[in-house]
Amino acid sequence: MTGNHGLVENGTGDASEHTTHRTAGADYGEFFQNEEKLKNGDLVGLNLSTGTVRKYNAGDEFIGIVTSSAGFVANAKHEDDPNYTLVGLLGQLEFNDDQVILENRIVKTMDGKKIGVLLKSGKIFIR
């Protein structure tokens, strides 16, 4: 069998399953409305004045890191919209090391907020 075969299911209710989901991605991502173009690995802040995301600035609410390899993606209806950015919220993520402070293996924003831990792989674990 060839072609694109997928399962699309809509609805609400309770479900119980015993399934293992395998994915090459190592993080959980969600699309957020942006106020500027962001690059993979950029730290992402929520601008408290606008309610949109941007490259992290001091005083922003840190929410994650721009990702291109999320294993699970939410708000995917915005995947082709340039006004939205895929932000990794949880998991192992690549990051731009010129945007952080490293103290031992603790990774912080430039204004000192702890955001995660540096892994042996060179990625950061955030939660």
What's the confidence (pLDDT) of residue 24? 83
What's the confidence (pLDDT) of residue 26? 81
What's the confidence (pLDDT) of residue 2? 46
Task: Give φ, ψ of 76 to 5 degrees.
Answer: -65, -10
Domain assignments of the chain as residue spans, ordered by start: 27-126
Q: What pairing do the DSSP bridges indicate for beta strands 124-126 and 114-118? A: antiparallel
Please give the Cα distance from 93 to 44 (Å, whole number): 12
pLDDT in tens, the chain (127 residues): 445 445 555 555 555 666 666 788 889 999 999 999 999 999 999 999 999 999 999 999 999 999 999 999 999 999 999 999 999 999 999 999 999 999 999 999 999 999 999 999 999 999 9
Domain 27-126 fold is Virus Head Decoration Protein; Chain: A, (2.40.300)
Q: Would you state the structure tokens that stand for residue 83, as one six-digit string?
A: 């006004």
The DSSP annotation for 89-107 comes to EEEEE---GGGEEEETTEE
